[in-house]
Amino acid sequence: MFNEHLLKQVAARLQARHETIAVAESVTAGLLQAAFAAMENATVFFQGGMTVYNITQKVKHLQVNPITAIRCNAVAEEIAAQMAMGILHHFGSHWGIGITGYAAPLPGHEDQQLYACCAIVNKPGMLSTFTLQTGIAEPLQVQLFYVDGIMQKLSALTEA
């Protein structure tokens, strides 16, 4: 289900650096947490995660700005960054990931482009935001595409 090579690479780098990570996810609905939990020695570096699927929960648990969230249906790189910072502080980890987006079109918008806004933050202040787009139609495959995209970016960031 997940890219085993990427999972091993990320796990090894986090362990070698004695760093921890936590995840705040919406569109991937727990799949990032499952990917991290599947990594070897996950308890050494994976602090945990939170699935916050609607605006109310993003605001309540991750201190996402409610006005900004309402304006963009909580799908924007700025919201992903707020989620990443919120989870980093909530779990006290070195790294935080935030992801929000669409795995299926909204009702009445069948031609909607599917995308996810992502953010990866590191305690020293490094923040990377990016958007993943896909033309995949099946929601689970869309979510797995997003997980792979996050892992690729995290692998590149932990390589530095």
Look at residue 125 in the predicted model and tell me its pLDDT: 79
Specify the amino acid at residue 79: I
The domains of the chain are located at 4-159
Angle at CA 31, nearest 5°, toward 28 and 32? 90
Look at residue 126 in the predicted model and tell me its pLDDT: 87
Residue numbers in the chain where pLDDT is lower than 70: none
CA-based nearest residue to 80, from 96, 63, 94, 100 = 100
Specify the amino acid at residue 87: I
What confidence tens digit (pLDDT) does each residue in 27-45 have? 999 999 999 999 989 999 9
Distance CA 32, CA 37 (A): 9
Non-local (6+) Cβ contacts of 111 within 8 A are 105
pTM: 0.94
CATH number of the 4-159 domain:
3.90.950.20
